[in-house]
Amino acid sequence: MKTDVKIQIVLLLALLTLFHSAEKLKKFLPDRSQELPAYVHLKKPYLDILTLGHRHLYEDYVHIWLIQDLIPGQQQKQTLSLENISQKINLISTQQPTIESFFLLSCFVLAFDFESPKMCEYPLSQGMKALPQSWKIPMLQGYLYAYEQNLPKLGSVFYKKASSHKNAPQFLKQLSNKLASKKTSSEDDTRAKKAIEYLKNKIKYKKIKPITSD
């Protein structure tokens, strides 16, 4: 038993060293996307093999990197543009990390900071694949369709999906039905917005100020 623990520790240290070495090596490579984390272009099956069964470590690393990347001033030479951020989020989403807050934070930034809710479709679709038990991800997609893009019927579909999950708020199913028939009340709208505020507070989201190049 002790031998197994030692082997796991050695593997974890080797994996962390590999990530660190790859980051240093990138400085010497003429790569157009050199600001991205190592292995972000790898497809999910290859990433599973490379991380030796400890993919959660890589996911934590990439998640922390993205949070730092979104904070203005962290990287002096970088501009926070919609195209730049969306590309990074989509690349990471393709690997389907099993971190719910990654998908929530990503789409709060895209939808509310950059006012581009449509750009959330791909990352949220990947989030629903990575975390099929999550009700928060489809609820967010439902809200973006219904309240940010004025597509109540599409929003209804995702609210219904969210309501079918364990521990989902009871009002989601009712809201789905009302959106489908376009008969929501101001009380329903307030509830929907409060649910999104709950998610924002849950992950400690703070609105960033997008930086654009001159």
User: Does residue 48 belong to any structural domain of this protein?
Assistant: yes
Residue 169, in any domain of the structure: yes
How far apart CA 195 and CA 150 sit, in angstroms, is 18
Residue 67 inside a domain? The answer is: yes
Tens-digit pLDDT profile for the chain (214 aa)? 556 666 556 556 665 565 555 455 445 444 343 466 666 766 666 666 666 666 677 777 777 778 777 765 444 444 678 888 898 899 889 888 889 999 999 999 999 999 999 999 999 999 999 999 999 999 999 999 999 999 999 999 999 999 999 899 999 999 999 999 999 999 999 999 999 999 999 988 877 655 554 4
- The answer to the question of residue 208 being in a domain is no
* Residue 207 in domain: no
Q: Do the domain assignments include residue 196?
A: yes
Structural domains in the chain (count): 1
Q: Among 122, 49, 99, which residue's Cα sits nearest to residue 203?
A: 99
Q: What domain range is 92 assigned to? A: 2-202
116 in any annotated domain: yes
Nearest to 118, CA basis, from 157, 97, 90, 99: 90
CATH number, domain with residue 113:
1.25.40
Q: Which amino acid is at 103?
A: F
151: left (phi over 0), alpha (psi -120 to 50) or beta: beta
